[in-house]
Structure 1
């Protein structure tokens, strides 16, 4: 099922998968923002759109919120080819890094894969990196606090890490670890934006979270 509104650029919002991440509720938070920035917004509750080469070629930005689930080889190849050709890809939390766990090509595209998080929600600090402090996604932002899940991930060394969070040493980990929390990457002519933050709608009530997510959507777009 799809719906569409009018604008100059085209955004495709693909939402579904595990309902615990509230894919419709949370993506709806960003549709007015995209429309206000001049995007035609089309939503899809099926991954079949990734096999539509003509549609993706005409799309400037794919916003994905699809946790877990399975993607076919044709759908995965279609999304990857579209990004390589210049279509942007953006998302947050499990909707982009806990998707299609069996598809290595998809993980190479996004630059990271969720592995675990400590039980429940925790108060923790997200810190923009000095190396990329002038990047338009995080420019002017300082460290900020969130109360949500803290993701442990495997990440690609070719991503540009824009913000991190810390895991203390414990019975399983002999030393503290700095973990990527927000990153960007390029894939051919396309751009990819990922944020680990966004398990629940009120995560985006934190001004810095909302700001960097909105900026990330714009940055990733063609």
Structure 2
């Protein structure tokens, strides 16, 4: 029996699928206990049909999206964007959020970024917390940290709040180092969006800073 004085739980919808190389079920499962501990009732969906249900999305506080590549129907894309614009949070990591639905411009306007390429294999690189944003709740108290994983080159919207970056060294294609966004947030109407480019493989989240900023990002994005 539920205590009438208990606050109502929040609702999280975890949408996962697409290319299996990003282990959408295995990796999203890492975060289900965390969300439950923070008062979320969790529903998982392994079909994009859920994005066509406006009432369901309106009743959702947080959508965790992990769907690499694939195609989304125009009506599903519009319904999802409208829900976030009205206040539903939207969050994810790596190709599960910014290598989804490459042909859908409305979706890319929602996320604020799109994966373009990464150097072959996994590379050692450093994630730098943007000093001016060091007090943001997603990265507060975190120092720069090292990872060994894919390093994403992305195209981003100028209207995002960049919290962390990584630097690509000069090389054959470029004659100077390039600083690239790697963690960002944005507002989208009344909704909030969190994106991290880190998370190709499950052990990426064994890095304490990666796990921490991802968990915080999920909470930040929620209603």
Q: TM above 0.5, one fold?
A: yes
> Is 1:197 the equivalent of 2:202?
no
Q: Give 1:175 deviation, angstroms.
A: 1.3
Alpha-carbon distance in structure 2 between the residues aligned to 1:43 and 1:78: 18
2:91 maps to 1:95: no
Moved over 4 A (4+): none
1:131 alignment partner, SS class: helix
SS of the residue aligned with 1:76?
helix
Asked if 1:78 corresponds to 2:88, the answer is: no
**In structure 1, what is the equivalent of residue 155 of structure 2?**
154
CA distance in 2, matches of 1:173, 1:111: 24
- 1:133 maps to 134
In structure 2, the partner of 1:3 is none
Query: 1:142 maps to what in 2?
Result: 143
With structure 1 as the length reference, what TM-score do the two structures score? 0.97
1:1-222 correspondence to structure 2 within 5 Å: 8-222=9-223
List per-residue Cα deviations over 1:106-164 (Å, max 9, x = no partner): 00100000000000000100011011110000000000010000000000000000000
Query: In structure 2, what is the Cα distance between the partners aligned to 1:38 and 1:135?
Result: 22
SS of residue paired to 2:132: coil
The unaligned stretches of length 5 or more in structure 1 are 1-6
Report how many residues are paired. 216
**Aligned-residue CA RMSD in angstroms?**
0.6
Cα displacement (A) at 1:174: 1.9
Q: Structure 2-normalised TM-score?
A: 0.96
Aligned-partner Cα distance in 2 for 1:98–1:130: 28
Whole-angstrom CA distance in 2 between matches of 1:110 and 1:96 = 8
Cα distance per residue 1:60-111 (max 9 Å; x no partner): 0000000000000011001100000000000000000000000011001000
